Amino acid sequence: MHLAFFVPPAPGHVNPALPLVAELVRRGHRVGFATGASMVPAVRAAGAEPVPLPSEIPDRPLSGTAFTAGDLAAMLEGVLANARADLPVMLEHFGAERPDVVCFDAINPFGRVVADSLGVPAAALVPNLTGHDDAPLSETFMPEAFDFGDARLLAARRAMTDFAAEHGVGALPDPMSEVMAPLNLVFVPRRFQPGGEAFDDRFHFVGPSPRPEDASRWRPRRPDAPLVFVSLGTVFNERPDFFRACAEAFEGTPWQVAMSVGSHLEVSTLGTLPENVEVRPHFPQLAVLREADVFVTHCGMGSTMEALYHEVPMVAAPQVPEQRRNARRVAELGLGRLLEEPDAASIRAAVESVADDARIGEALSRMREAIEESGGAAAGADALERYVDEAKTA
């Protein structure tokens, strides 16, 4: 079986797909993985054939904000600009040796354009919470005052439709309101998905799979002390005020703190740090989570799933609506706490609360069981094999 993957070059989208890729390669399938050059080393390490694309996600820090129609319009304009650059590369590469299926990230509807242009089935990869016909994502992620009739937003949608029509595709699926493909692989356990029981057999909740990472790359300075890991992820992390509050929260306490602040924040801007606070641009996250007692997190889905896999209680400090919905779900299921307006006092209180809460520990154990039952990469590979076999015999 020959599979084409088409995923934007963002860790939160590429990383969840890599265990599936590795499993497909292990089974003897050929996988071509199209993404930006920044993610090529990770793709190659998973055993896939990298197909470098010209597009990249801008490497700029963001602080998080309310999600407006202008924000969505700008995002769609960026998706379209990337598609104009990427699709010729995709079609030339995979047109020479046509794949059996195109697996595309659900955030990018132009994956359907690639599949339709090549005349092959499409499967969507969903690294976040998903929606269905009766419960679209727009109802989950958009604020009540969101202006769906914004002129710039409507123009961006028309431009995307026009571009798809140039490639012979009459209608693009809307990631916020429509099912993206006949097969949708969701890297979240059904138990975590709100209303998970309402999804039909087009959706396979395969859950997350652990990524290989060398745990020897990091060890806590004081193995006998409780450890809190602090990270706002790789995108919406320009929050020196938040990181200062975290350092202040644990000054003079038995806690040790590993704090990941991203590559754009100068550590000096945080002032004098307590001796029990270790700050780096990046930590090997899985290695730290294996040791952590609590995770103070933005609740991006990748980080949330990794915390659940390692049964680490969360204190959620979301920065954007998507993260806020994840954080609410964490709180609803008793897997941690949501902080709406975190400061030093509330951060410390929340960390100490979740660390000592036996009910959270029990809920985390149940969610780990749900993750194991989801089947992970093996279940995803099984679903793709069946899907391609059925398409060939249809």
* Token code pair at residue 283: 């930590």
Q: Where are the domains of the chain?
A: 2-207+375-393, 215-372
Looking at the domain 215-372, which fold is it? Rossmann fold (3.40.50)
DSSP single-letter state for residue 226: -
User: Is the Cβ–Cβ distance between 191 and 251 less than 8 Å?
Assistant: no
> Is residue 61 pLDDT above 60, yes or no?
no
User: Is the Cβ–Cβ distance between 229 and 288 less than 8 Å?
Assistant: yes
* Token code pair at residue 56: 């990249």
> Is residue 394 pLDDT above 80, yes or no?
no
Other C-beta atoms lying within 10 Å of the C-beta of residue 175: 22
Alpha carbon separation from 323 to 30, 34, 66, 140, 233 (Å, rounded): 34, 26, 12, 11, 11
Dist. CA 229–CA 237, nearest whole Å: 15
> Is residue 67 pLDDT above 80, yes or no?
no
Dist. CA 256–CA 259, nearest whole Å: 10
- Give tens-digit pLDDT for 209-228: 987 665 557 788 888 999 99
- Give tens-digit pLDDT for 298-329: 999 999 999 999 999 999 999 878 889 999 99
Class of domain 2-207+375-393: alpha beta
Helix (H) or strand (E) holding 153: helix 151-166
Domain pair 2-207+375-393 / 215-372, same fold: yes
